[in-house]
Amino acid sequence: SMTLEHGAHRIGKRIDSKMSRWRNYGFGQFIHWGLYAIPGGHWNGEYYGGAAEWIRSWKGMPNEDYDNLYTEFDPVDFDPKAWAEQAKDMGARYMIITTKHHDGFCLWPSEFTDYDVTNAPYGQDIIGPLVEAYDAEGIDVYLYFSVMDWNHPGYRSKLETAEDREAYEGFKEFTRNQLLELLERYPSTKGLWFDGTWDAAWKEQAEFADNLAMEMREMIPGLIIGSRFRPDDYGNRHFDSNGDLMGDYEQGWERKLPDTYEDTKGNDWDCVMTVPENQWGYHSDWRGHVKTSYELIEMLVKSVSLDGNFVMNFGPNGQGEIRKEERQLAKEIGEWMHKNQKAIYDCGYIDWEKQDWGYYTRNRESGEVYMIVFNKPINGALRIKTPAKINLDKIFDLNGPQKTYRPEEIHRNEYFIHLDEALLETPKVIVIQYSEATNQTKGYDKAKT
């Protein structure tokens, strides 16, 4: 492997308690909120088909029109307590909030720019009340921060001239100042979710980013930072030039999921997911496929079954309201989570062969295994194949009248359990308590006393 000054500084997973807490979340909420919620995907009566939070990049909306939206930002219906209660009812255990998206508008009063909430009609800090409300509900808060900042005069996507480089030094100092300011103002935050770090200019900043990450981790010990922040000595991101993960978990699964455990390379990871195909910020006219609660529950279950966290996105509107489609999804997912959270929280991967009926998860503390059934076979027989020397001690429904199942052995380490209900109304969880058969032979004598 190559010697890197600014590559991965740790091989393998963090095992400290703060990272274990992150690993066991299972389910999180993303909130994309900012000036883009005001136009909501339209301008001058024109429909914008791209991602609503990118409308500034659309030729249908002049940059100065976008940049002046802050003069209209006055979300009178913003109710952080209501948002936090809804997230609690949904079963989210952490939340990621956009403090500053690519447009550079800051939802907190920043000392280092005038382009923030204090200079909008609303005039008050948004991030503080959100952190407070979510902390009060016991939901951990993470801060999304876009390094790319279309508002800052020193921002560059690439460094071509001496002027570029000089301007970018100022931009780097600004970026550091804002990040330290955020950690100073909101010390209960558990981590940062970085975005906007793909630019060539940023990929040259291995040393700066490494030092800044160390500085932030000194400010808040145990701070959790994903793989999307630092470039290594050769500008490689997410994985350094030796293929080692550049952060505490992999942030590569945006609007997509790994298919197998091998795809995860055995790392920690999160999947961040939009409800429509590709809208993070509020778009008033969702077109194309809008995911149902069952689709989102299956993505959540699949993520946990492969040792990841699933983070579902919400895009509040310009008045600070959560749209009705998202409220309905939160309600439906919450109903399922209320009954089945044991199969999600503190659970992860188990190396039993995946079957067509659905997914296995395993509680990392108790070792209890959960079958989460999405697809009932025609014959009602759920196949279970285990590694050798596994005893299936007890199998029963997580919910309802505690029905138990007697596994029918059909081959060595292969069984059927037979569902009797006609139709599955919702994804069904069945509990398996198992033990590893020790390799003692039969007739083992009790110890002589």
Q: Considering all CA atoms of the chain, what is the largest pairwise distance in Å, rounded to the nearest integer?
A: 89
Site for ligand K80 in 372-401 (CB under 6 A): none
Q: How far is the CB of 381 from ligand K80 (least distance, A)?
A: 41
Measured between alpha carbons, how far is 18 from 225 in angstroms, rounded to an integer? 12
Of 194 and 415, CB closest to ligand K80: 194
Q: Going residue by residue from 197 to 236, which x/- string records binding to ligand K80, judged by CB under 6 A? A: ----------------------------------------
Query: What span, in angstroms and rounded, lies between the C-alpha atoms of 216 and 208?
Result: 12
Residues numbered 258-277 forming contacts with ligand K80, rule: CB under 6 A: 272
- What letter does residue 344 receive in the DSSP assignment? T
- Are 348 and 413 in contact by the 8 Å Cβ rule? The answer is no
Region 52-71 residues binding ligand K80, contact defined as CB under 6 A:
53
Window 20-49: residues binding ligand K80 (CB under 6 A)? 32
CA-based end-to-end distance of the chain: 56
Please, what is the minimum distance in Å from the beta carbon of residue 270 to ligand K80? 11
Question: CA 237 to CA 71: how far, in whole Å?
Answer: 37
Nearer to ligand K80, 209 or 271 (CB): 271
Position 254 contacts ligand K80 (CB under 6 A) = yes
**CB-wise, 53 or 240, nearer to ligand K80?**
53
Give yes or no for residue 135 binding ligand K80 (CB under 6 A). no
Read off the DSSP letter of residue 93. Answer: S
Question: For residue 380, what are its two tokens?
Answer: 């009602």
Q: Which residue has the tokens 């002049």?
A: 62
DSSP class per residue in 182-238: HHHH-TT--EEEEE---SHHHHT-HHHHHHHHHHHHHHSTT-EE-TTS-B-TTS-BS
Among 25, 66, 115, 280, binds ligand K80 (CB under 6 A): 280
CA dist 129 and 428 (Å) reads: 38
Instruction: Supply the minimum distance, in Å, between the C-beta of residue 278 and ligand K80.
Output: 8
Backbone dihedral angles phi then psi of residue 325, each to the nearest 5 degrees: -60, -40
Measured from the CB atom, is 286 or 370 closer to ligand K80? 286
Local structure of 76: helix, strand or coil = coil
Token readout for 223 is 């701070």
Looking at the Cβ atoms of 32 and 230, the one nearer to ligand K80 is 32
Considering the complex, what minimum distance in angstroms separates the CB of residue 32 from ligand K80? 6
Question: Could you tell me the smallest distance in angstroms from the CB atom of residue 56 to ligand K80?
Answer: 11
Distance, in Å, from the CA atom of 78 to the CA atom of 172, rounded to the nearest integer, reads 32
> Which residue, judged by CB position, is nearest to ligand K80 in the bound state?
280
- Would you give the binding string for ligand K80 spanning residues 162-201, x where CB under 6 A is met? ---------------------------------x------
Q: Are strands 94-100 and 27-31 parallel, antiparallel or unpaired?
A: parallel
Residue 51 vs 429, nearer CB to ligand K80:
51
Given the rule CB under 6 A, which residues bind ligand K80?
Answer: 32, 51, 53, 195, 254, 272, 280
